Structures are given as C-alpha cells and as structure tokens.
Structure 1
Amino acid sequence: MDNLVKYYDHNEFSFISMEKLEELEDEYYIEYSTFEDCYINKDTSDYGYCDNDLLTNDTIENGDYIYCEDTEDYQLEENTVHLEDTDETVSIDYDYQRCDECGLIFSRDYDMHHRDDDCYCDDCWEDMEPVIYEYHKYYDGYYPRSLARESPLFMGFELEVDNVRGDCESLASSVLDGDMDDTLHCEEDCTVAFEFISQPCTLEYHKNQHYNDWFFSELDGKCESHDAGTCGLHVHVNKSFFDDRGYDRLKTILFFFKDELFQFSRRQRWDCGYSDFGERIHKNSVTMHKAKNTKHYGHSTWFNENNSSTYEFRLFRGTLKYETFMASLELVHNICMIAMSNTDIITWDLLLDGDYCREYSNSREIYCDSELNLGELEKKENELMQAIKKGLEENAFINLNYVCVGEIVGDKIVFYCLDNKNGELYKRRRDCIDLSEFETFEEYGYYYLCNRKELSNLLGGEF
C-alpha cells in the first residue's frame, strides 16, 4: 500500500500505484487535490474548486457545497447566501443588502427603500407604506421637477377632497396607480377626508402630467372638493425665486388686485377660516410700503409667508375641474413671473396669460380697468423710506413726558426714551410701530422736539 495513491476516475475512488499514475498522466489531465488528498482525473470526472483547491463531485454532492456566482467556485452552504432578486447564490463575503423587515437578502444592484436608516424590499415597503400618510408625515422628501430650459419657479399644490364615496385609501390608491412619475402623494387632514400633495414642479411640468387623464377623471363622482364647501386648493412657490425687489412687487400686486383674486378664488367669504383675505383696500390706497409690510401669518390667511422655504397661496377654493385647476396654477405662475420682471404697468389682463386663465376669468365676469403703476409706487416707496429714515436720524421727539429717539429695525420703527441713571444717559426701549401701519409720527403721539445734534449738545454728549 506504500506505493499506492488515492485516485478519482469516472467519479469513483480507487487506489493505484505511482507508476500507473505516471503512465496515466501522459494521456490524461490529472491534478492533485490537497483537500481530497487524492489525484483527480479531470478528463473523466466531474469536479469543482473551493478557494482554489480541487473538489471531487462526490464531495460536492455529499458535503453541502454550493456553487457561488461571485467567487465562481464552490463554498460550504453555511458560508453562502441566496439573493432573492437574482435567484443566485453568492459567498458570505459578497456585498449584499438585507431587508430589515423580512430579513431576505438582495444584490447590491437591488433598489432598496429607506426610512429612518432601515432598508426595505418592495414587498415589505408595499405592506408598510401607507397610501395616505399622516399629516406632515411624508418621508420621501420633495424634489423640484422641470422640463429643459424652464424657469426656476416651482409650484407645488395641495388639493383637499371630502365627502368620499367609499373607502378613502381605495380612492387614493386608484389615483396614485396612474401616477407614472410619482408626482403625487396623499396625507390626512383633520378638516377634510384627505389631500393630494404634489412635488414642486414648473408650470410646464404640471401641464405635461395630463392630470385630466388619470387624476381628475379618477376622482370624478367619487368625492367632492368645491361642492363640499370645506376644501381648498393651496399653491406653494419657492421663496428662493424672489429677490427683495421681486418680493415687494409680488405683495403689491396681490394687494392691488385683491378684489379680483377673491372673485377668481371662488371663495364665498372674505373671512374664511382657512383663507382670510382681511379687509378690502381701495386700489387708490394701495402702496408698496403697506403691502410689503402687511404680514398676517399662518393657515388662516390667503397668502401665508410662515413656511420656511415657500410662499403659500391659500386663496383658491378646492376644485375637481381640470380647467379650473390649471387656471389657478397659471394665475399664480403669472403673478410670480411678472413680480420678478421689469414691467412697470400691471393690469388684470396682463395676469391672465395661458391656456386656461383668461377664459376662466371671463367666465366669472372678472374685469378690472385700473392699472398698477409699480414704477411710480417704487419711486414713492423709496422717497417715503428715505423721509422716515432721515426724520429718525435727525430728530428727537417728545411722547407724553418722555424725550425719544427712533430707528428702523426690520419692518418696524423702534422708539427709545432717554433716561438718566446715576448721572449717565442711556436709551430704554419704549415703543415700536409696524411700518405697514405707519402714516405720520404724530399719529402715534410722537411730536418733533428738536434736532438730535441740538439735544446732544444740550445734554453734553452723544446718545
């Protein structure tokens, strides 16, 4: 037996002499396996490799070895994993992904879903992802969408629906099934059944979605929006689109055409709980100074500035009519674009450009002959602010029994009274006036006393 070696031929083991093996090596391709401690005839037998060592077919079949696609050899089953997406087996060292819900393993190319640092496969994501999210619990984020060479003005809408005929989630699901671009999602809203919320899109991108084919057509007859009397159509625009001048012009356009916007909105009351228009302002009384500094924040206002990155047009009543919906988007788009333009003379007709806007305005018999001369108002605004600033810088005032000085801080005028404490003069804040409400110093009880320099000389020092 000392001269005999273990030999694997035609998938069977035997023992042969070294002399015989050397003769066979002249005719066959024979290789020694350290793992098997035998010589394997590779021309007549089935075999494989494990970590560069040769395995017989007998060992593969009886030793729980599995072929791995990544290493291109055999590994012990306990050192392998099965990929669900490709139906392949790979080694445990493969860069795979594991679903945190079901524990199944997927290849690195599989598109996992993520939430709170956990990964989910399609099946688990479908089971756990709500059709209608809780209010403000949408996790996937917002991503601006545009077509090529469009403006950086993005609009996202919230369309509320109510009086759903049937199950809310079924209705939401039937609509979202037609959303090929994942433009919409749904959220709960305690004031209505739920609302559809879009990604921020340019006007052309919204038009290119053909909402009438799968959105409004699916909602038809299954819920209400305008007719419910509880729903709104809110349009968000990105604040980053506007510079300071554009913002001033935007607010002035809104206030000048407030009556027309109210008619366009289809709201029934000026003091609607979720879209308060505030008091009517006669067009002759609108100034850029008042418009830009009038800020009533929050969900109760027709124009909400309280969001961190968007201005929210809350004026529109909800609608399930595609033409009315698009007319509303067009109007918001036109107002914003003109605010950022150099156009000085603004008319209602100028705001109605588009495929739906003018026709809708005419159908509601909304007409306005007045012109807004923004160029003239900007000039008056600059003159007024210079006059206020100069008056505060140069003059001291008397208010009741207090000597006062003032300065502009943000959108307010802050007055300080002069006090003497232990022989030292210091300023103590006394009052502030909202610039949007300012008319004259006298209206608020501040009367000219003397020139600041005269007062400084009289008191023996600067203050």
Structure 2
Amino acid sequence: MNEIYECANCGCTIENEEDLYEVEDQIICEDCFNDETFTCSHCGDRFFYRNSVSDDNTAICQNCYDNYYRRCERCGCIIHDDNVYWDGDYPYCSDCYDEEEQCRHIHDYGYKPVPIFYRCSDEGENVRCYGVELEIDRGGKDDDNADTLESISNREEEILYIKSDGSLDEGMELVSHPCSLYFHKYDFPWEEIMKRAVRLGYRSHNTSTCGLHVHIGRCSLGNTYERQEDVISRILFFFESHWNELFRFSRRSEESAEHWAARHGYEDRPKEILEKAKKSSKGRYACVNITNISTVEIRLFRGTLKWNTFMASLELVDAICENAIRHSDEELHKQSWADFVMDLSPEYTELITYLKEKRLYVNEPVETEEED
C-alpha cells in the first residue's frame, strides 16, 4: 500500500510519491510547487515566494540577497553588489545613477565632465586657460546651496560645477571649467558667488580644511613635450628658489603646507627638481603637482572667499608661467624675488595690491581686509 502524504502548504492529499515535491524541507503538491515556489536566480535552490526578495525581473532567496545584493535607492530594483553605483551610502542601478547625476548639483568627487574652454571675445585660441578648484566648508554638503551657487555662475552657460570632497567636514568643492585669466577676472561672477557662499555660512580661509588649487593645461606651456617639460621644470625651480615668499603669499600654516602642498626640495638645476618630483612619494599632495596627464596643478594656496585674494593668486600663477616661458634656466638662476616683482605687468592689479598687503612688493604697504 502506497504511503499517503499531506501538502505542507495547502493541506491537500498526495497519493502518489511521484507527485510530491520537497521545498525548504517541506513536502508539497505539484500545484503549490508550480504556483507558490521559485528558483533563486543566484544559488539555484528552490524556495517559497513568501521567503523571496524580488522585483519585476529578479527573484532571489533572502540569504543570497543579504550577502550579494542591494535595492536601488530610487527605483527599488535588485542589483548585484558588483553592479551597484554608490552615491555616498546610497546604492543605485546604472540608469538611476545616471539620472540622479544629471539632476543633482553636488557630484561625486570623481566626476569629470568634458572640459569647456572659455576666453573673452577678443582673445585668441592660444590664450592660456586655468581650471580652478575652490574648497569651501562649514556651510553643509547641501544640494540646495549648491543649486544657489550654480544659479549664479551658470546663468548663460555651464562654467562651474560642484563636487563632494572627503577632506572637507561640511562643505563642497567649486570647480570651474578652464577659463582665461581675463575671463576669470572680468566675466566669471566669482565675487558674487563668494559673497553668497559667505551668506550661506561657508568659509574657506578660516578653516583648517580648504585649499585653492589652480590647474594649468600642459599644452599651453609649449608646443612639444620637450618644451613643456622645460617650462614645468622652471616652474618647479621658481617655487623652490622663492619658497619663503610664496609660502608667505599662500596664507597656509607650515603643517597645512606640509600635508597638502609639500615642497619637492631645492636642487641647483630645474631639470634635477623635475626628476626629483617625478620620483616623489608625495603623489598629488605637492605644492606643484605634476601627476596629472593633462595639467600641472598649483596646490600651495589656502582657500579664500575674498575675491581680491583669489584673483591675486590666479594672477600670480599666470605671472609664474610667463616667467618660466620667457626666461632660460640661467636667467632664472640669477633672478631675485625683487627682479620678478619689478618685472610684473601693471595689468596684474590684484596681484600687485596683494603683494603690497603682504609686504612682498618693493613699495608701500596698503590696508587689508579680513579673509573669509
């Protein structure tokens, strides 16, 4: 006589052994097997639907979900850990991450759009451009605040974008597309952006976290690789030869400079400093960072929300580049700080004023305003 079984799910009688199925250590009938259970798409075992984690396309067991999957924060679909796109602590599928990226105003630190070059209408294509990274802190990593600042900068075109930065406590990084010095000075609404940032509670100079970084396109330093290397070596030599003056200009503390913008160390020949920098273990945390493929990054300056100081820093970078392009190694060896300062173009109005403020100019000092 055949043994009679009872379905553990619906309670029906199963008279034939070939009509029974075992799922999660329970005997069930064929109808319940077909209608109430599924095969986990990850481990391949059979489970009751009531113990599943599923979306429109995927059903997996709870154990596999806990160990290998997440739900998209936006659409709720199930994503394998290998395919998750993270925004902070929030997981997204590829499609939702792309949509979020387009909608939000604070991008991930690794966000790098295709650069758009901006020059004044009367400037030629060969005019050197600078990309600026200005860190601001204390006002919050707030998307609404970022939207407010972007609404000032990007009224007509996108000239600024904003990123998160793990080195900041409660802030963000304002990043410009590459712009000529004159565009930064006359067309870019930096002053309005800075004033609004201060009103929103942000600070830059008055923090221990913020820097002002300026990127110089390598291709703007020479039309051949060898020429670019020559100019970069002379920029490095200038920084090492006049470190005391540049450090005073930067407003950084010794501890901050050593941590975020360290010296490479003086050598008697520019090319020797360049080779030293290439072998350095400092990585990008050097006063002149040469680890980027397309740019040289000047990292020495402390952050600021004072337009005059900001613009003086950009004008100094431009003056150093011009100095390195126009002079030979031998001429730079003989050049004193006073020689450099006295040779500055009168068009560097903010730089000359700031040098006087810091008593780094051969002239009378002027009154200064407090930094933010």
Q: TM-score range by the shorter chain?
A: 0.5 to 0.7
Equivalent residues of 1:256, 1:286 under 8 A apart = no
> Post-superposition shift, 1:127?
8.8
Q: Go from structure 1 to structure 2 and tell me whether the alpha carbon gap of 1:167 and 1:276 turns closer, same or farther (over 3 Å shift).
A: closer
Q: Go from structure 1 to structure 2 and tell me whether the alpha carbon gap of 1:125 and 1:260 turns closer, same or farther (over 3 Å shift).
A: same
The yes-or-no answer on 1:218 pairing with 2:196 is yes
> Post-superposition shift, 1:209?
2.4
Q: Go from structure 1 to structure 2 and tell me whether the alpha carbon gap of 1:278 and 1:341 turns closer, same or farther (over 3 Å shift).
A: closer
The residue number in structure 2 matching 1:162 is 137
Aligned counterparts of 1:351 and 1:187: Cα–Cα separation in 2: 38
Equivalent residues of 1:335, 1:351 under 8 A apart = no
> Post-superposition shift, 1:219?
0.9
The yes-or-no answer on 1:260 pairing with 2:245 is yes
Cα offsets for 1:69-101 (capped at 9, x unmatched): xxxxxxxxxxxxxxxxxxxxxxxxxxxxxxxx9
Equivalent residues of 1:234, 1:316 under 8 A apart = yes
Aligned counterparts of 1:307 and 1:229: Cα–Cα separation in 2: 25
Root mean square deviation, CA, Å: 3.1
Equivalent residues of 1:327, 1:356 under 8 A apart = yes
Structure 2 portions without partners, runs of 5+: 1-74, 76-93, 222-226, 363-372
- SS for the counterpart of 2:152 is coil
The residue number in structure 1 matching 2:258 is 272
Alignment of 1:82-97 (within 5 A): none
The letter of the residue matching 1:154 is C
> Post-superposition shift, 1:365?
1.6
Q: Go from structure 1 to structure 2 and tell me whether the alpha carbon gap of 1:152 and 1:176 turns closer, same or farther (over 3 Å shift).
A: same
The yes-or-no answer on 1:349 pairing with 2:323 is no
Structure with more relative contact order (C-alpha pairs < 8 Å, separation 6 or more): 2
Q: Go from structure 1 to structure 2 and tell me whether the alpha carbon gap of 1:254 and 1:177 turns closer, same or farther (over 3 Å shift).
A: same
- SS for the counterpart of 2:114 is coil
Aligned counterparts of 2:141 and 2:324: Cα–Cα separation in 1: 43
The yes-or-no answer on 1:174 pairing with 2:159 is no
Which one of 153, 161, 167 corresponds to residue 128 of structure 2?
A: 153
- SS for the counterpart of 1:145 is coil
Identity %: 27
> Post-superposition shift, 1:204?
0.9
- Select the structure that is richer in helix: 2
Aligned counterparts of 1:351 and 1:216: Cα–Cα separation in 2: 31
The residue number in structure 1 matching 2:162 is 186
Instruction: Output the TM-score relative to the length of structure 1.
Output: 0.48
The worse-fitting range, judged by mean Cα deviation, of 257-266 and 359-368 is: 359-368
Which one of 167, 170, 176 corresponds to residue 198 of structure 1?
A: 176
Aligned counterparts of 1:331 and 1:245: Cα–Cα separation in 2: 19
Which one of 192, 208, 217 corresponds to residue 186 of structure 2?
A: 208
Aligned counterparts of 2:110 and 2:172: Cα–Cα separation in 1: 12
The residue number in structure 1 matching 2:274 is 292
Alignment of 1:308-457 (within 5 A): 308-342=293-327, 344=331, 346=335, 347-350=339-342, 352-353=344-345, 354-366=348-360
Equivalent residues of 2:152, 2:189 under 8 A apart = no
Equivalent residues of 2:108, 2:163 under 8 A apart = yes
The letter of the residue matching 1:190 is G
Instruction: Output the TM-score relative to the length of structure 2.
Output: 0.59
Equivalent residues of 2:288, 2:296 under 8 A apart = yes
Equivalent residues of 1:162, 1:225 under 8 A apart = yes
Cα offsets for 1:31-74 (capped at 9, x unmatched): xxxxxxxxxxxxxxxxxxxxxxxxxxxxxxxxxxxxxxxxxxxx
The residue number in structure 2 matching 1:141 is 114
> Post-superposition shift, 1:236?
0.3
Equivalent residues of 1:161, 1:318 under 8 A apart = yes
Structure 1 portions without partners, runs of 5+: 1-100, 102-116, 119-123, 369-463
Equivalent residues of 2:284, 2:290 under 8 A apart = no
Q: Go from structure 1 to structure 2 and tell me whether the alpha carbon gap of 1:247 and 1:158 turns closer, same or farther (over 3 Å shift).
A: same
Aligned counterparts of 1:292 and 1:213: Cα–Cα separation in 2: 36
- Select the structure that is richer in strand: 1
> Post-superposition shift, 1:146?
1.4
Equivalenced residue count is 246
> Post-superposition shift, 1:212?
4.3
> Post-superposition shift, 1:257?
1.4
Equivalent residues of 1:331, 1:352 under 8 A apart = no
Equivalent residues of 2:136, 2:210 under 8 A apart = yes
Cα offsets for 1:299-330 (capped at 9, x unmatched): 32111000010000000000000000000000
Aligned counterparts of 1:292 and 1:319: Cα–Cα separation in 2: 29
> Post-superposition shift, 1:168?
1.9
The letter of the residue matching 2:341 is D
- SS for the counterpart of 1:294 is helix
